[in-house]
A and B are shown apart, each in its own frame.
Chain A
Amino acid sequence: MDSGRRKFFKLFAAGSLGAGLTPVFPASLSGIAPDQPTETNIADALKYPRNENSMPGKYPGRVVRVDDEKSISDGTINEEAVYNMLDGGMRNLGECNDVRDAWRQFVNPGEKVGIKVNPIGGKLLSTSHALVKSVILQLEQSGIAREDIVIFDRRMQQLRDTGFTPDNYPGIAIAGTEHVDESGSYYDENGELYSLSLIDRDWYYWADCEMEYDDYMLPFMVNQGKYSYFSKIVTQQLDKIINLPIMKNAGASVTLCLKNLGYGVITNTSRLHATLWAETSAQVCAFPPVRDKVVLNIADGIKGCYDGGPGANPQFFTDYKMLLLGTDPVAMDVVGYDIIIGKRIEMGRQSGFFDVGMQKMELAAGYGLGVADRDRIDLRTIIRS
């Protein structure tokens, strides 16, 4: 291997890497699929008893798709249209006439509600402000106090860069595990990473692989080794989480509900990208801080992409002009997968559907997190205009 490539990292994996075949994974005591390349502590997660909020939530298998041609025009998002799409989608999901009743099925006054956005595409392709503001407005209309709402992600700097700031969201807390101060430094006056105080060492995802990071990368990984720690934002600060991913591809798969959570709430992820990309997305979501707190998923498909994801390459952008809503992140990802990969095929970026793209959804279904079988998904479509 060319010594100049990937010279920043050394990857160490115990055991042999699997053949990369799509696992057919029945739920089991160990949680480890026979073909899983690397051992993890998923079995620990599966021991925790489930509760009424646990994934797939109130409506397993149900996905509401809301289409509106007027939601975006020439790059400008129509905020009113998005608000109305969200309103209609929530009422359909909750099967009620008043959107406040719909929201109150998932959140209650007095609870700390986190909104997990996706800002990694920068200003070009991040969870839209039109959607976030609509969610906040409807939460407030449903009795959630503004001071009980938190917009969060891993990376504080990216949140700022994409406009998730106190100025734009007065009264709303903005939180990032990889915290930076106003000067842009990841380190405090003692030379310690701010993020060290924001990780919860009582909750972790352990995987038998590790990667050595250089000095530049460490602030974004927080720690090396075989442990990925959950963010205290998720484990300690929030009661409920609303997940707002964007409709983007990731190669021949998608980065949607499961990925936005799986990689968005833990540290030390680059080592997992290389060996456990799909497994991490599914297994992290099986841990109670995620499984029992994520009550709603709203996929932002007003503007998305079909290639170049999860980054932002404008020539692969497309206006899907839709929202997807559901409590079941697995079913949401399956529906989104069919749309995004269908677009890839239409645009000649992929010749067909490949099993590998469904891997994380099938794994997650095996852990009881939702429905991956298309025959059991209840897809409801609302076409507004």
Chain B
Amino acid sequence: MVMIKMYCLIFLCSLLFGSSGTAVVAKGVAERPDGLFFCQPEIVTTATPDGKIADMPVMSPSDLPGAVISRSEIYVGGSLWGLINGAADLYYEYGFDRMALQDIGWEGENFRLELYRMDSPLAAYGIFSVSVHGCEEGGPVSTGYCINRFQYQLYSGNYYLSLINYSGSDKARELSLKIAELVANRTGGAAAVLPGLFVRQPFEVNADGIRLIRGIIGVRNIVPGIAHLFDEADDFEIWHLGIASDSGQQEILLLKSPGPHPLPEAAAITEGLSMAGYAVREADGQVVAVMSDDFVESNELLDRIIILL
């Protein structure tokens, strides 16, 4: 009871003296006899004078003169689920560290800034690659950013930024560029290394369509027809590229392990892809598969890819 009172006192003091950036952390979880949990709350104030939240390079009022930052929160660990429910699972699948969320009002425009720090540049690229579509400006691979009327997305080092504006106006777009530039300048680092196959001829022109899948949720979202092959797999990467050709759509899959070892269960996956209608071949611990309307064409493309590999 003394401990509870002490924690309550800390809790109340934090309410009185907390600042604009906070994170709620539950400490001291204890299991009750009925199987439910008793948690002692602790509020951690994480905002710093320059606006950083737990070392995340977000915006401060000095960055954006006249801006009002009405919300500044950090989501660590499983708490992302509390913000976006099941959509969080996709971020966890890629390797999620933390996310900073800000609501910003600036020069009459309103923005929602979500800055995700992933556990590697590849993880950041991966989540970015499956979140972009139909970029009005930029391209995921060629520029590292994607701009649409209501959203600016970029990946930089370990970070993925989603900056949403609510008006879709030219002014909002202009201000988005300024905010994104500030974020990009603070988040530089190693870039994701993409498979060489896709960033040279003849695929280079399609490189902006490359998507990285790192788990079953991504598989279900992007290649649902083969999801059953990965229900029990958790050690794989799938590089997905869709190409529009004269004869229709072609889909190329490059399946590999995340490490130097061969793709686990490559033989079973190869067989399953073949049964699903792909032209497929295993090479050097990787699996390459091609799907198009014409199986002969698929095999011809596959032959060219194997040579390039």
Contacts and interface: CB of A to CB of B under 8 A. Distances in A.
A and B together in one complex:
yes
A1 B150 CA distance: 36
Contacts of A190: 4
A220 interface: yes
B50 interface: no
Given A223-B35, A314-B150, A348-B242, A2 B95 contact: yes
A219 B80 CA distance: 11
Contact of A315 (B7, B37, B132, B249): B132
A217 B94 contact: no
Interface of A: 1-2, 4-6, 8-9, 17-21, 37, 75, 120, 122-124, 155, 157, 178, 183-187, 189-193, 196, 201, 213-225, 227, 250-252, 263, 269-270, 273-274, 307-311, 313-317, 347-352, 354, 356-357
A307 B41 CA distance: 37
B196 to A, nearest CB: 22
A315 B151 contact: yes
Given A1-B235, A310-B85, A185 B41 contact: yes
Given A2-B258, A8-B92, A220-B82, A354 B4 contact: no
6 contacts: A2-B95, A5-B214, A191-B7, A220-B81, A224-B37, A263-B86
A234 to B, nearest CB: 18
B24 A184 contact: yes
B108 interface: no
Interface residues of B, number: 69
B8 interface: yes
Contacts of B48: none
B78 A214 contact: yes
Interface string B70-111: 000001111101101111010011111000000000000000
B77 A214 contact: yes
Given A251-B217, A251-B224, A315-B134, A215 B231 contact: no
B228 interface: yes
Contact of B36 (A124, A223, A354): A223
A17 B92 CA distance: 21
B220 interface: yes
A249 to B, nearest CB: 9
Contacts of A316: 133
Contact of B77 (A17, A217, A307): A217
The A interface is mostly helix, strand or loop, or mixed, namely: loop
Contacts of A310: 85-87
A315 B220 contact: no
A311 B120 CA distance: 23
A216 B220 CA distance: 27
A273 B93 CA distance: 13
B119 interface: yes
Contacts of A314: 148-151, 164
A356 B227 contact: yes
- Please list the 5 inter-chain residue pairs (A to B) with the smallest Cβ-Cβ separation, ordered nearest first: A217-B78, A311-B87, A216-B79, A252-B224, A20-B228
Contacts of B242: 348
A8 B37 contact: no
Contact of A21 (B29, B162, B228): B228
Contacts of B143: none
Contacts of A123: 112, 166
Nearest to A316: B133
A191 B8 contact: yes
Contacts of B86: 250, 263, 269-270, 273, 310
A270 B81 contact: yes
A20 B276 CA distance: 14
Contacts of A223: 35-37
